[in-house]
């Protein structure tokens, strides 16, 4: 798979970082789009010739256009797009402010839509697009109403994009991680003990008895990007230890 190019939003932390590292191992050229340069720079330092970093906000279509233009100028096009950047804020209905609602939709829905739309100008033949949804797209939980709705929208986009882009030979799939050990868990605002109790409960309710590791999500993304998945499009791959099935 050398000389293949992957573009990853949010490729500097948690699941996205594991995806960046896994594709680098497979000799992909890796283009990372996120806001924090510091967290991207260490990956760039490790493999300067194979990593492109771009500081931008997925809510900005101009940033996305500039990112893909740089990918194209440097490597001629993009083979794999991973729309991974996302935010998750647990809030009960009455606690949701207009600002936090708009931010979730801006990053998780608008960001994903335009991450794909702006990639179309530079996509190579037989490209693969992977959208990071969540098992929360298909489960109900009060504090996740807005987040779950944005992730259900992402799952829907995978279906519509698959239909529209199939004629170009472009495959589009969603991936739905279960609860996964990443920095996002510490952004929820829970006290340490509360978070630990929640994670224990999640693990107890999961058929495989634990939460996920970022590397396990990255392996599934790599599979969807590869020719091993050449007849899979419009699907949603659950990587959750079975949590959403029970």
Ligand X SMILES: NC(=O)c1ccc[n+]([C@@H]2O[C@H](COP(=O)([O-])OP(=O)(O)OC[C@H]3O[C@@H](n4cnc5c(N)ncnc54)[C@H](OP(=O)(O)O)[C@@H]3O)[C@@H](O)[C@H]2O)c1
Q: Residue numbers of the site for ligand X (CB under 6 A)? A: 9-10, 12-16, 34-36, 39, 57-59, 84-88, 107, 132, 134, 177, 179-180, 182-184, 187
Asked if residues 74 and 52 have their Cβ atoms less than 8 Å apart, the reply is yes
Q: Among candidates 65, 160, 40, 168, which has minimal Cα distance to 115?
A: 65
Can 147 be counted among the known catalytic residues? yes
103 vs 124, beta carbon nearer ligand X: 103
10 vs 241, beta carbon nearer ligand X: 10
Q: What is the CA radius of gyration of the chain?
A: 17
Q: Kindly state the smallest distance separating residue 4's Cβ from ligand X, in Å.
A: 22
Q: Kindly state the smallest distance separating residue 141's Cβ from ligand X, in Å.
A: 13
Q: Kindly state the smallest distance separating residue 46's Cβ from ligand X, in Å.
A: 17
CA distance 211 to 170: 32
Q: Kindly state the smallest distance separating residue 214's Cβ from ligand X, in Å.
A: 7
Choosing from 68, 114, 147, 161, the catalytic residue is 147
127 vs 174, beta carbon nearer ligand X: 174
9 vs 173, beta carbon nearer ligand X: 9
Asked if residues 239 and 220 have their Cβ atoms less than 8 Å apart, the reply is yes
List, by residue number, the catalytic residues.
147
């Amino acid at each position: 798979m050398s000389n293949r190019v992957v573009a990853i939003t949010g490729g500097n932390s948690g699941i996205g970082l594991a995806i960046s590292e896994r594709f680098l191992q497979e000799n992909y050229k890796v283009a990372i789009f996120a806001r924090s340069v510091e967290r991207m720079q260490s990956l760039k330092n490790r493999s300067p010739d194979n990593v492109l970093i771009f500081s931008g906000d997925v809510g900005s279509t101009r940033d996305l256009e500039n990112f893909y233009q740089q990918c194209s100028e440097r490597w001629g096009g993009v083979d794999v797009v991973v729309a991974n950047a996302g935010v998750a804020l647990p809030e009960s209905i009455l606690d949701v402010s207009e600002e936090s609602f708009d931010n979730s939709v801006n990053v998780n829905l608008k960001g994903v839509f335009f991450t794909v739309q702006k990639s179309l100008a530079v996509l190579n033949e037989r490209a693969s697009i992977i959208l990071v949804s969540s098992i929360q797209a298909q489960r109900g939980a009060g504090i996740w109403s807005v987040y779950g709705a944005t992730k259900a929208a992402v799952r829907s986009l995978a279906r519509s994009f698959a239909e529209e882009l199939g004629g170009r030979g472009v495959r589009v799939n969603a991936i739905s991680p279960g609860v996964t050990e990443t920095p996002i868990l510490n952004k929820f605002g829970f006290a340490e003990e509360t978070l630990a109790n929640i994670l224990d409960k999640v693990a107890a309710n999961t058929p495989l008895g634990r939460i996920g590791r970022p590397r396990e999500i990255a392996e599934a993304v790599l599979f969807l990007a590869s020719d091993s998945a050449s007849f899979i499009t419009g699907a949603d791959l659950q990587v959750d230890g079975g949590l959403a099935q029970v």
